[in-house]
């Protein structure tokens, strides 16, 4: 098994142990990646670009990276 297959298997094992409400959270998180990818947005670059202006809080950085 290669590293990618091992990682996928590990994720599936961990996900299988989660309650339903956490699974919904994971789906939302995955969907946010898809949306950003479709828009061509790189969240790291978006957060880094924000740092060149006025100072922002850790919460604002997290919002840039992960959305709300």
Residue ranges making up the domain that contains 23? 19-66
Q: What pLDDT is attached to residue 18?
A: 93
38-67 pLDDT, tens digit each = 777 666 666 666 666 677 777 877 887 787
14-46 pLDDT, tens digit each = 999 999 999 999 998 888 878 777 777 666 666
- Within a domain: 9: no
Q: What pLDDT is attached to residue 50?
A: 60
Q: What pLDDT is attached to residue 24?
A: 92
Torsion 38-39-41-46 (CA) sign? negative
Q: What is the full DSSP assignment across 35-54? A: HHHHHT--HHHHHHHHTTSS
- Within a domain: 10: no
- Within a domain: 6: no
Q: What is the pTM of this model?
A: 0.47
Closest to 67 measured CA to CA, from 45, 39, 36: 36
Contact 30, 36 (CB under 8 A): no
């Amino acid at each position: 098994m290669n590293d990618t297959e091992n990682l996928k298997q590990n994720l599936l094992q961990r996900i299988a142990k989660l309650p339903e409400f956490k699974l919904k959270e994971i789906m939302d998180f995955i969907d946010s990646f898809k949306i950003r990818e479709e828009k061509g947005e790189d969240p790291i670059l978006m957060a880094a670009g924000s740092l060149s202006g006025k100072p922002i809080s850790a919460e604002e950085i997290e919002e840039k990276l992960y959305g709300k």
